[in-house]
Amino acid sequence: MTSLFRREMTIILFDLLISLFAFWFARYFGDLPRWYWLVLSAAIWVAAGVVTRKLQFGAYKRIRTAVLGILIVNLATGIALDAFYGYLVPGYAYDHSILLATGIITVLEWGLYFLLRRLVYRKIAYFYEGTPMDNVVVRGLSAEDKGRDYTDNPDISWLLGILNRNNESHVVDRLKTFSGVRKARVLVTESGDPEDIIADKLRYPDVILHCRSLNRIKPVDTLLAFSNYHLDNGKFIFCHFTPLGARRERIRKQSPPVIREIIYFVDFCWHRIMGKLSLTRGFYLWVTGGRDQVFSRVEVLGRIYRAGFELVYEKLIEGRIYLVAVKVKDPIRHDHPSGGLLIRMKRVGKGGKMIGVYKFRTMHAYSEYLQPLIYEQGGLANGGKLANDYRVNRVGRLMRRFWIDELPMLINWIKGDMKLVGVRPLSSHYFSLYSPELQELRTRTKPGLLPPYYADMPETLEEIQASEKKYLEAYFKHPFLTDWKYFWKAVGNILFKGKRSK
């Protein structure tokens, strides 16, 4: 089955479901014929779309022609169906609900077109995954520096002294009147404008101290990047913020049990959903001015690492986290950080070609920049995944448990990048860990949605390679029978034996 044929058949199937839903829904608002006539009508509607080439969404070069073309064909089909009812259905008279069904189908077909245009015909940006993990040992701080006591810097020593002696909310007020041993080498700023850092007369300070909370700074990434440009390697940045968990506790302490959950839910939807999704973030920032943003701890750490810093000190005081980070490199540029739900990751496909594999996000925003840190802290767990990965959020853990995060890979199946059963799509780093023989075998076929991992459930990397080699050698001899066998074995392990990816 070619990718083009698979794509067209998928569109036809979705259009049939849309038509069935529209006629079923409209029937409750009028006097449309009995259900079997409506099923026939849905089939006629889809057939009209195929005959008129309305459903060849990939052929539309402009959005307005697609919108207009779908509308014209649907209006004509709706009129034809009304006439069809009048001639063949006994006692049928014109019913306005046919217009309702036509409108529902038109709107949903527009939505299907825009979805395919966004995800299939036009690719979203790749999800940044950091440098290869086999290089993390030589990048950033050396092992000696990581174990260093940074109190040998008088300014940092003074800062840490303030944090360690104070457990009250006036810590920031003390910091605003910074009186370190070497005051001339400390840049203290309360501004949220990144340009003020570059414009400051103090060039290349030892420490940049941000007194304003990161929650109240709209261009956080720009501020951190400009701080990086103003520092030499080995110099420090100090900042603070209120994390999501502290905000949640504060809200819950201010209201009765039931009311507080409702208030927190509304607050979460506004700040964490509207404030993160690409479609709504612009409106959110326009309304709030970025004065009360909500960040998780992981997100802020990810932003700091993206800006070229590494964490050297962290402390929670009265619901606020204070951070000291050291510059180790220039900021990461030309990437596309996003808090959106859908991500696209680079993976090795057939012929060694890099493909974009779609998944739902299961981690906090900016988690991708912490991959080297997580690897250093915990290494790899059984199955080749990062151990003790605290970047996964609560919803993400639930999604991973039931494979909801992998549903968007159906887009790759529709596009023809992947097949139903096959080896797991790997990043360049993990692919490089495989033996040359297995690398060659892997690139001779497409990766799959359902890997042989769930049929054999191997533990170590060596066992995983042996399992995939066994599958691939059998597949090249008997493709259909091998995939059929592995499909049912994997499904049986998942449904009846509770097997899960670790």
Return the pLDDT at 107. 95
Whole-number pLDDT of residue 138: 32
**For residue 293, which amino acid is it?**
Q
Tell whether 470 and 351 lie within a shared domain: yes
Give the rounded percent of residues in the chain with a pLDDT score beyond 90: 23
Write the CB contacts of 14 (distance below 8 Å, at least 6 apart in sequence).
112
**Sign of the CA dihedral 109, 112, 114, 120?**
negative
Does 251 map to a domain? yes
* pLDDT on residue 373: 73
pLDDT band of residue 315 (cuts 50, 70, 90) is confident
pLDDT at residue 132 greater than cutoff 50? no
Mean pLDDT of 479-485: 92
At residue 215, the 3 state secondary structure works out as helix
DSSP secondary structure string for all residues of 232-243: -TT-EEEEEE-B
pLDDT band at 385 (very low <50, low <70, confident <90, very high): low
| Residue 501: inside a domain | no
The predicted model gives 391-402 an average pLDDT of: 84
On average, the pLDDT of the chain sits at 81
pLDDT at 181: 47
Least confident of 92-96, 236-240, 255-259, 432-436: 92-96
| pLDDT tier, 223 (very low <50, low <70, confident <90, very high otherwise) | very high
Q: How far apart are CA 116 and CA 113, in angstroms?
A: 5
- Looking at the fold, whether 261 and 401 belong to one and the same domain comes out as no
Which neighbouring-strand residues pair with 309?
327
How many domains in the chain? 4
Inter-residue contact 74 to 108 (CB < 8 Å): no
Last residue of a domain, one of 71, 90, 121: 121
Neighbouring C-alpha atoms within 13 Å toward the C-beta of 287:
10
> Cβ(404)–Cβ(370) under 8 Å?
no
In a domain, 280, yes or no: yes
Q: Looking at residue 343, what DSSP letter applies?
A: E
Residue 129 lies in a domain: no
- d(Cα 367, Cα 360) in Å, to the nearest integer? 14
Give CA–CA dist 458/475, Å, rounded: 19
Question: What confidence category does residue 137 fall into, taking pLDDT thresholds of 50, 70 and 90?
Answer: very low
Kindly state whether residue 283 falls inside one of the protein's structural domains. Answer: yes
Higher-pLDDT residue of 87 and 326 is: 326
Rounded mean pLDDT, 105-130: 80
Contact 215, 240 (CB under 8 A): no
Assess contact for 106 and 27: CB atoms under 8 A.
no
93 has a pLDDT exceeding 90:
no
| 235 and 359 assigned to the same domain | no
Q: Is residue 337 part of a domain?
A: no
* Whether 478 and 376 share a structural domain: yes
How many CB atoms within 10 Å of residue 134?
Answer: 11
For residue 39, with 0-12 CB atoms within 10 Å meaning exposed, 13-18 middle and 19 or more buried, which class applies?
middle
The DSSP 8-state label assigned to residue 351 in this structure reads G
Token duo for residue 138: 């030589």
Mean pLDDT, residues 208-213: 87
Looking at the structure, tell me whether residues 369 and 387 fall in a common domain.
Answer: yes
Residues 422 and 489 in one domain: yes
Instruction: Indicate the angle between helix axes 371-378 and 297-306, nearest 10 degrees.
Output: 110
Q: Are residues 301 and 161 in the same domain?
A: yes
Has residue 148 got a pLDDT over 70?
A: no
pLDDT digits over 10-58, tens only?
889 999 999 999 988 888 887 777 777 788 889 999 999 999 989 888 8
For residue 316, the model assigns a pLDDT of 84
Asked if residues 380 and 386 have their Cβ atoms less than 8 Å apart, the reply is yes
Inform me whether the pLDDT recorded for 133 exceeds 50: no
pLDDT confidence tier of residue 108, bands split at 50, 70 and 90? very high
Whether residues 162 and 307 fall in one domain: yes
Q: What is the C-alpha separation between 20 and 5, in angstroms, rounded? A: 23
In order, the DSSP letters of 34-69 are -HHHHHHHHHHHHHHHHHTTTT-GGG--SHHHHHHH
Same-domain status, 70 and 45: yes
Backbone angles phi, psi at 320, to 5 degrees: -125, 135
* Phi-psi map region of 385: left, alpha, beta (phi>0 left; psi -120 to 50 alpha): beta
What is the distance between the alpha carbons of residues 359 and 256, in angstroms, rounded to a whole number? 38
Which residues lie across from 356 on neighbouring strands? 346
Mean pLDDT of 451-466: 86
Instruction: Examine the domain organization and report whether 155 and 300 are in the same domain.
Output: yes
Average pLDDT over residues 137-157: 54
Using an 8 Å Cβ cutoff, are 426 and 352 in contact?
Answer: no
Residue 307 maps to which CATH number? 3.40.50.150
- Put simply, whether the predicted model's pTM sits higher than 0.85 gets the answer no
CA distance readout (Å), 133 to 114, 127, 282, 433: 37, 16, 34, 11
In-domain check, residue 410: yes
The reply to whether 463 and 386 lie within a common domain is: yes
Choosing from 121, 148, 180, the residue where a domain stops is 121
Amino acid at 351: G
Residue 317 sits in the same domain as residue 366? no
Residue 233 lies in a domain: yes
368 has a pLDDT exceeding 50? yes
459 CB contacts (<8 Å, ≥6 apart)? Answer: 382, 383
Task: Say if residues 238 and 208 touch (Cβ distance below 8 Å).
Answer: yes
Amino acid at 150: Y
Phi/psi at 235 (5° precision): -95, 170
Query: Over 70: is that where the pLDDT of 178 sits?
Result: no
pLDDT band per the 50, 70, 90 thresholds, residue 497: low
CA angle 71, 73, 78 (to 5 degrees): 95
Give the structural domain span for 81: 3-121
Boundary (domain end) residue, out of 89, 121, 153:
121
Q: Average pLDDT for residues 250-270, to the nearest whole number?
A: 86
Query: Distance from first CA to last CA of the chain, Å, rounded?
Result: 33
Q: Is the pLDDT of residue 334 over 90?
A: no
Contact present, 493 and 455 (Cβ < 8 Å): yes
Q: How confident is the model at residue 168 (pLDDT cuts 50, 70, 90)?
A: low
Amino acid residing at 109: E
Segments of 299-365 assigned E as strands: 309-317, 320-327, 342-348, 354-360
- The 3-state secondary structure of 367-406 reads HHHHHHHHHHHHCECCCCCECCCCCECHHHHHHHHCCHHH
Q: Which two tokens stand for residue 276?
A: 């993160």
